[in-house]
Structure formats: structure tokens, C-alpha cells
Amino acid sequence: MTPQEQIDEINRKLDLFLADYYRNNNPTSQIFTKRVFFQGGIDLSSSTVSLGAAGGAVGLYGVTPVAKASAIASPTAPSGAYVQAEASSMKTAVDAIRTALLNIGITA
């Protein structure tokens, strides 16, 4: 075995050891007391992802964090013919959705 092959084998074993160590010795959650920045992306593949505490605020893309938006009223179901009140109800609901997306930073 060449010296480089020996180094590669040691690195492979170390990687396996560290993967096993961290998998078995870390709690399922972490508490951070300072700002945390992730480089290279975040894996959000778990079945449950929660951002912010209850009553907390969230902001994306550098937007000032805001509290959770109020419930958006369901628009009036259309009757089949054009009715101004139904159209106004739909516009109100769409405007509320747009405002919520703007406030959290998803749209500009």
C-alpha cells in the first residue's frame, strides 16, 4: 500500500468514526444563544420544520421580522353570475395574501 493509499484509508476511517460519533452523541435539537449563519445551504428535509417561537417574528431576505399575519378571510363563493360583492371579497382576500407575503419578505 502506498503512503497516499494509507492516508486515504485513515481519512476514510476517521470520516466513518466522526459520522458515527456525531450521530450518536448529539441531541436532536440545538439551542443557539447567538446569531447563527449557515453557509452552503440548510437541510430542511426533516418531517417538521418550525421557525420562530410562538408569538415570535420571522423575516426573510433581510426584511425586518414581523409577527404572524392574521387569518385571511375566505372569499365569498361565486354564485355563477358576476356579483360585485363576490369580486370585492376575492380582491380583499388576494390583497391580504399579497400583504402577508410582502411583510415577511417573500415578495418585493
Quick: pLDDT tens for 5-51: 999 999 999 988 888 877 777 666 666 677 776 666 666 666 666 66
The three-state secondary structure class of 7 is: helix
CA-to-CA distance for 24 and 22, rounded, in angstroms?
5
Find all residues with CB under 8 Å of 58, minimum gap 6, and list them: 51, 52, 65, 66, 68, 104
Cell representation of residue 41: 445551504
pLDDT of residue 21: 79
Is the pTM above the cut of 0.85? no
For the segment 59-88, the average pLDDT, to the nearest whole number, is: 85
Q: Of 67, 65, 41, 63, whose CA–CA distance to 55 is shortest?
A: 67
Which residue would you say has higher pLDDT here, 108 or 90? Answer: 90
